Structure 1
Amino acid sequence: MRKENYIRKSVVSGCVQILMLSLMSFFLFKEMPNIWLIELAAVEIIIVITGIKKYLWKTGKKSNIIALLIIYVIFWCVLLSVLYRPGQTLAEYSYGGDWGEYKEIVSELLAGASAFGASADLAHNMRLSEFLLNRNNYLLSALYYGGWAGAGFVIVLLVLFLAATRKLLGKHAKYNYNYLVYTAAWWGLAIRVIVGIFYSFGLLAMPIALPFAGTIGIYMDTMALGLLFCSAVEGRRINASICKDCRIRDLYESDHVEISEAEYGEGQGLPYLVQVRSGEAAYECIAEEEPQFNVLVLMLFAKNENWLLILKKDDETGRWNDADDEEIRRSVRYKVMSDNCPECMEVFNE
């Protein structure tokens, strides 16, 4: 849609494809418990919002984008309503069983748990022991055997795990071609952590397992974590290709610089490696001329980043000043990054 400048045909085609993919995923999970479809709907809506933020929000018409997003949410609500049976409460629909019984048992556990270690009162509660035995919930098990200190420790570990996996997406994650796939993997883990904690304590009737709880959870979360490690590897390559647009004032205490003529390439009219000087301060840069924009582009490797100086020459003084045209600066930065980016990187002219 973005590449075709949001013409009606491309917008309709894109929306229909998204709806058809969502419909296919709905039928694929239709025979599973309702909570699987609720989780699927949440992830897909989040991914659509993420895609809109990446590709459409800055350049598209915001009122139309919001309207289409609302339609998509309504579409999922209609699909989920197909599985609703008359007389069901929302808790019964999402939990799929007796939610009152679950809350009652969890309330007993919360009330009887000690601050540290196992509670003597809970140790003789056979009903509670059988309940925990039949569930892959290590948070409740930590509360039962380690008290509130044990449960708090598990929650802290889960929060740290979520923060660490978010870092795996990378500092410049939006430039990754597979950004939506990796974001879906992270949000799958995030929903398991956030909703799983509330469900464990009986605060939310959505039986979503905590990360790596149960056989299916181990398989799914291992795949999600593998995708995030792929994102981290690709992120390192992308970080090395990101160019920061900087001004002379970011490097020198002046608005102009001089470029050493001694380093110019013979017969080429422009240097490959030049020395940029202002007063006593000097940096060595890789230079490239952009005749299309009548500017000289200097790449400086500083502070573990690639800095771009985009300069124009003052014919009267022979000094170089910043190119002031913002459109030219954006276009030059886009061209330089496009010429040097890895295959996994997607560059935007912004």
Structure 2
Amino acid sequence: MTALPTTATAPSAFPAQAPAAAPDVLLRCRELVRPALGEAVGRLHPWVAEMAAYSFGWCEVGGAPAAAPGGKGVRQALAVLGAEAAGADGRAGIPAAVAVELVHAFSLLHDDIMDGDATRRRRPAVWKAYGTGPAVLAGDALFALAVETLAAAPGGPEALRLLSAALADLVRGQADDLLFTTRPWGGPQRVTPEEYRRMAEGKTGALLGCAVALGAALGGAPEPVVTALDRAGRRLGIAFQLIDDVLGIWGDPAVTGKPVHGDLRERKKTFPVLAALGSPAARRLPALLDSPGRAAQAAALIEEAGGRTATLAEARAHMDAARALLAKTPLAAGPADELHGLLDHLTSRNL
């Protein structure tokens, strides 16, 4: 790969609103990837393919076409931009985009079952619409399809190595997230902020880092560039999870598609809670958290104790680290600018 100009450092503060170009990037990449993603899903057993299509918002139960809001296609965009940042045509990143989107869908199907979440994107989750067993089967099929997609791509063995490493980290992160709910709010067995960061990097950051790294690898980037992009994506993932934590407590259900204070009622050890528990002002917080009917009072106390402010500051720190990694990595200038814009867009959503 020929030498490419290094990008300039982006501003460190979250913008008041997302840059206008970011949604265009998501739309462009989704449209580029959609035919290949649809073709891949079409290779599945018809019933399993219907569940997959339902999870993507393409159809209703029974297969009738739907205009339900699907995902934003963040991982698809990162894979395409990774290839373009490596100096290749964005089409080189399509197999990576399809694979990571399939893995993401697989993880959401299983995650909803593990968490008991009955809705996803403001309609019944797959397990509620089709049953738990069928949803597990659909998730397994999507995972297998992702592996098949990458194995058939140029550079398949290296791509599969990157995906396997990300999946191992994702499973570790998900395991930690589930185990956190069994641990006490305080004392020597409490969840620490450092444990949270490791969990968030695995559960959310691993696949975001894998997406952009896979795209770059398929685009011909050298190993140091692939590694740097993976690290930047992981930092983005931690920031993304932190913002999700804020939205999980204070977000508008009409926008997030999740019930208000849902994370508190599920006793999740999210970062705002962990940060607030370290404040003397939050002595009453454990008792409130153990009473699901007092979630609104708990949310108010978490904010009063500085949990929301500390979480946003933590997210900014990880975003700054992601930007710094991008700034010192030799990337094609245009796609690198789009990566910066996408990062800003993702961490300024609905705050």
TM score, norm. by length of structure 1:
0.31
Quick check: which has more Rg, 1 or 2?
1
Higher helix residue share: 2
TM score, norm. by length of structure 2:
0.31
Compare relative contact order (CA 8 Å, sep 6+) and give the higher one, 1 or 2: 2
